[in-house]
Amino acid sequence: MSPTWFARAYANGWQPPLIIATVIAAASLAAAICYWLTARRHGNAKPNASDAAQRFVLSDLLRFGTALLVLAGAMRAWYAVIFAFRSTFSIKYFQHAHGLDLATAGAMNSYVFLAAMFTTPAFGWLCDKIGRYAPMLASAHFSCPCRSRS
């Protein structure tokens, strides 16, 4: 709970933020129980013989295509850089490069995570509907506006 978003609650002591956090936790628990009940209701179907689980063999890892391995390596490098930036340097960047104060820079940093809470499930649903995971992942990686163009 951000003190910026819930300033009035924080101004009235520690009880109002605790109540808000309790309501959010209760809603999360209720959603998890609903999901569990739905999965339990629809998960009782008998699997077909073709759906039987195959054994995992370590040598299968060597049979991945080179395109997948290159994409996985690119994504690993990208996230190794962006996670360090987002958690360590982004607030200082907003302060020094854009002249923002600490509170505004922290709020700007939080907007990325707020947007991710809504866009991640939406794009996951889109990927499930379209079924083209690798091209969508590659297009997201190479079309990111915050990516360095050097």
For the chain, give the secondary structure using H, E and C. Answer: CCCCCCHHHHHCCCHHHHHHHHHHHHHHHHHHHHHHHHHHHHCCCCCCHHHCCCCCCHHHHHHCCHHHHHHHHHHHHHHHHHHHHHHHHHHHHHHHHHCCCHHHHHHHHHHHHHHHHHHHHHHHHHHHHHCCHHHHHHHHHHCCCCCCCC
Q: What is the mean pLDDT of each run of 10 residues along the chain (150 residues)?
A: 76 89 94 91 64 72 77 79 75 89 86 84 84 73 51
Contact assessment for residue 108 and residue 94, using Cβ atoms and an 8 Å cutoff: yes
Alpha-carbon distance of 97 to 92, in angstroms, equals 8
Predicted local confidence at residue 23, as pLDDT: 94
Residue ranges per structural domain of the chain = 1-43, 65-150
pTM higher than the cut 0.95: no
Predicted local confidence at residue 77, as pLDDT: 81
By CB atoms closer than 10 A (0-12, 13-18, 19+), residue 123 is middle
